[in-house]
Structure 1
């Protein structure tokens, strides 16, 4: 032990002299040290002695000695024995304490080790473990390093052309980083979601126009069930840090997105269950992080198919999350200061979420319908007499809200009709006065997506809630304005369409409301078998409400049936 200390003292003296001479212009001894440290066959014991000596001189390793420090940062310490790693850690902490200027290259080196160069490295688990141990030590020593970490994880994120294994390892390491640097949670999530969006928007889009006819039915389930009744068997044996498959060679973008979504959804589960039990506080923190990222990154992105399901999944854990999510969207729809495109996207999200979230209580579905329909009636009051026909260029948000209502009705009509006895469900739907919506001069049936309109028309005629076929027939004879359907960007955007990624779908399918009706031709057959008492023209004439009637509907109904969290939006 005494001999070791003596050797370290001697080497420290040699280094100190070489550094002093280098500062005076004599680099001969300094270059010898560089050569010695750069030898590929240098023994670990010799390297440790040099590190001990450099540790003693850390205070003078500032400007002018970057090449020497660079050589020490390039040392392949990660695969050495535990004693060498301890020696290297001591050297690095001494260096960074005395010279914070080296924080950036040091952290860059560590972050770069979070993405493997090969899939078949048996020592990767050890590498990642030691990287996080070292990074944790450095961030405790220099909290200001968090800003550098934030910059480096963004700069060094692997390109989407890299393998699924490399991408998954990097994302796994980012989540591991949050264990000891929780303040980076919003930054890490935003980075990951943006990368998911980049991959997602390059996938070929599935045709939306026939989506209702393509889906199979699903089992009915009480819509009031929430976290305490959700089966968590979908998580299986996966943990947030389970090892990626090193034999995964699939290079399809859809597969990479599937792997990353599975990793993210799994991490969401464990954030909401930090000790294996649901935690409302932890879930709330995660929800609001994702909600802000949704507003900033996802809502303005047209055509995204999968990343938004992170919010969909977390909302399933508590009714409060659903209400807050819908309220934020509704506030966006009502904000005339925002662009029409963003407002239309918000309406599309409301419609798709209310239609597809199986866990959403029926009371929330009804509140959403009342808010949307009430807004539509007020819009008709204000602009219908000024309109000569459909014009999505001028009234884009109006048509987006109408399409949301039609879409929700198509998917939820059975629950709405069966929710109460004595035909009160039918009375409730009739009280919405959808006949006035479809027959107004703004003509939403001309602008909204054909598949949704046709299904809505068939179902409302079945239950004599609104007769659309006279309007549809008239629309077929009218030349659509050039800035009509073609300028309606939300026409084929339903954010929560069927989740088809195979690996990650296990987190979503038990929460997802599938289409439970038959095909359009089957529904038309059912309609023909009914004995109709009114023609379309008679129905539209009979069910036109007076100005006072629909004013009462749009005000009183909203006030009487909205949960408190939505009442402010209704007002």
Structure 2
């Protein structure tokens, strides 16, 4: 009896909950009722009139619900936008909910007539009521961000044709808004920064957003300085979260067994990584990086390199006026470097934007070096920045294949002159010789040693060059009271010692031996292995590990080529039985292999056997250090 009564009265709904299917049907019925109650042609007109004439918001709220819940056809969309356009000046802030609902309607995939109707309404509502700019522009820029499921539409961060057409409409609309409403510039700046995807998002999401941000500078160059600084900041975040050691480990997993088998040959990790990461294998260029964040950085760096290509002031068919504008871009890039990259610790790839741009013309490279040198000389610049500038100038002089030899010699002379003046000044005042108190001096000395060792083939090619090296008075630097070799990275110190001994420029080995004995004495005296006082240094233009974008760097990048005379001296480090290389050693440990030419290893080993006894003592210290 109770079941019959329940069936008649519908009270059974109290006893059991709606299933999801029933809930969806109820929702659709409600939507259809709203749709039925609001005529397509007069819905917005009646809703606005009810508010203005009778302060009745019910029709307005129902119409907003209709916009949010209903799938609207192109014809209906065009009619609604046309009706809304007629009411532009009536849509004061009390109609904010409805205006936001209208602006939020999907529009990029619609027919041209519907696109036109939306565009005209969007522009006129923003011009008539500036309040809506703060909502409208973020809504527009959010359309730059690819959906997580749209990976196939963004191969390597570049939109396919259909997506590009949609984005073109978005950028065209933003261009018109920026032209019509100058105050919108600030909103755009804030929105671009706030909408930037999290660095762990999918590659196509981040690269797609970068693509659109760069697109903005094409029609509004006024944003270039802000965009470059913002993008470099975001790339630095990617860079420091993709450490060189992690990239090497991820890319070199297949080579570990091979390295263990070839321990006697001392094939260093860096060379192995270069081979496995595609630096010498074009067939691997299209394969993504195995490290997810490194892959994202790789795609973004290629986009940035391509963007720099369009900003080359020395490209063909560039007019004098265009060259003047493009030269201003170099100052923008250099400012971004000074503000973001130079103060950043442990970046490995972003700085190659400056390296690549400097390759366009020697005058750009010289301007970059001069900017670094000005910071090094300026005592009002913080010691941290000066030390970083020393690292950049040393690494650039060593690695830039495009740099003329006379420029290399000029800066070596400048560096050495500064070191000599510093030594004389400090001897006069008997200054404290600690590492911390003289960090810039020690960093600069190591830079000189590194550049001379790395570019020894060019700097010893003829008698004139050897006379130049002699004029640097390297022996005075090496033998000064500061003893700069004691704090140098062992790989740099031993390589420099090999070059100077081969060409009788200075005699470093006795100093290296004395330094080694002192360190051993300190350890045994305290009965503890105390940390050695060594420069915390990195060489920012060490080998580039990203597969896809490295093709932009390789033609301009110098790999080490040792001169015949010092090879036997350098190999002693590698032949020492006291030297045990571990996979966990820092990356600069690998960079020592830049001082050995692979195809000459056998000959070097034969030459070194006679020197092995001396090497056991002179080069016995492990070159495991941090960059």
TM-score band w.r.t. shorter chain: 0.7 to 0.9
Structure 1 position 458, deviation (Å): 0.6
* Counterparts of residues 330-349 of structure 1 (less than 5 Å): 330-349=373-392
Q: 1:514 aligns with which of 520, 545, 559?
A: 559
Is the aligned partner of 1:496 residue 2:526? no
Is the aligned partner of 1:467 residue 2:538? no
Task: Note the alpha carbon deviations across 1:105-163, whole angstroms, 9 max, x for none.
Answer: 11111111111112245743333222112111211211221211111111111111111
Measure the CA separation in 2 of the matches of 1:176 and 1:140: 16
Is the aligned partner of 1:83 residue 2:113? yes
What residue is the counterpart of 2:336 in the other structure? 293
Residues 373, 432 of structure 1: 8 Å contact kept: yes
341-350 or 46-55: bigger deviation: 46-55
What residue is the counterpart of 1:363 in the other structure? 406
The size of the alignment, in residue pairs, is 489
Q: 1:190 aligns with which of 229, 235, 238?
A: 229
What residue is the counterpart of 1:539 in the other structure? none
What residue is the counterpart of 1:149 in the other structure? 188
Measure the CA separation in 1 of the matches of 2:305 and 2:98: 44
Is the aligned partner of 1:69 residue 2:69? no
Measure the CA separation in 2 of the matches of 1:337 and 1:212: 44
Is the aligned partner of 1:270 residue 2:310? yes
Query: Which runs of 5 or more residues in structure 2 are unaligned?
Result: 1-38, 154-159, 249-265, 272-279, 524-529, 573-595, 597-603, 612-627
Do the aligned partners of residues 494 and 485 (structure 1) sit closer, same or farther apart at CA in structure 2, a change above 3 Å counting? farther
Is the aligned partner of 1:303 residue 2:346? yes
Instruction: Name the SS of the counterpart of 1:95 in structure 2.
Output: helix
Do the aligned partners of residues 215 and 367 (structure 1) sit closer, same or farther apart at CA in structure 2, a change above 3 Å counting? farther
Measure the CA separation in 1 of the matches of 2:472 and 2:338: 30
Structure 1 position 250, deviation (Å): 6.2
Measure the CA separation in 1 of the matches of 2:395 and 2:64: 63
Instruction: Name the SS of the counterpart of 2:416 in structure 1.
Output: helix
194-203 or 381-390: bigger deviation: 381-390
Structure 1 position 388, deviation (Å): 8.7
Measure the CA separation in 2 of the matches of 1:301 and 1:28: 56
Do the aligned partners of residues 374 and 275 (structure 1) sit closer, same or farther apart at CA in structure 2, a change above 3 Å counting? closer
Measure the CA separation in 2 of the matches of 1:140 and 1:492: 48
Measure the CA separation in 1 of the matches of 2:143 and 2:290: 23
Structure 1 position 430, deviation (Å): 0.5
Structure 1 position 514, deviation (Å): 0.7
Residues 478, 508 of structure 2: 8 Å contact kept: yes
Residues 11, 49 of structure 1: 8 Å contact kept: no
Q: 2:46 aligns with which of 6, 10, 14?
A: 14
What residue is the counterpart of 1:38 in the other structure? 68
* Counterparts of residues 541-556 of structure 1 (less than 5 Å): none
Measure the CA separation in 1 of the matches of 2:125 and 2:314: 36
Q: 2:164 aligns with which of 119, 125, 132?
A: 125
Structure 1 position 213, deviation (Å): 6.9
Measure the CA separation in 2 of the matches of 1:275 and 1:433: 42
What residue is the counterpart of 2:473 in the other structure? 433
Is the aligned partner of 1:112 residue 2:142? yes
Task: Note the alpha carbon deviations across 1:283-319, whole angstroms, 9 max, x for none.
Answer: 4233211100110011111211110000000011111
Residues 114, 173 of structure 1: 8 Å contact kept: yes
What residue is the counterpart of 1:140 in the other structure? 179
Instruction: Name the SS of the counterpart of 2:212 in structure 1.
Output: helix
Structure 1 position 11, deviation (Å): 6.7
Measure the CA separation in 2 of the matches of 1:486 and 1:181: 53
Structure 1 position 60, deviation (Å): 2.5
Measure the CA separation in 1 of the matches of 2:505 and 2:165: 65
Q: 1:165 aligns with which of 185, 204, 207?
A: 204
What residue is the counterpart of 1:553 in the other structure? none
Measure the CA separation in 2 of the matches of 1:249 and 1:54: 50
Residues 409, 456 of structure 1: 8 Å contact kept: yes
Structure 1 position 41, deviation (Å): 3.2
What residue is the counterpart of 1:560 in the other structure? none
Structure 1 position 51, deviation (Å): 1.5
Task: Note the alpha carbon deviations across 1:11-41, whole angstroms, 9 max, x for none.
Answer: 77535423413xx632133234324433413
Residues 448, 485 of structure 1: 8 Å contact kept: no
Residues 389, 443 of structure 1: 8 Å contact kept: no
Query: Which runs of 5 or more residues in structure 1 are unaligned?
Result: 1-6, 217-233, 237-244, 531-571
Larger radius of gyration: 2
Residues 393, 487 of structure 1: 8 Å contact kept: no
Structure 1 position 267, deviation (Å): 1.1
472-481 or 362-371: bigger deviation: 472-481
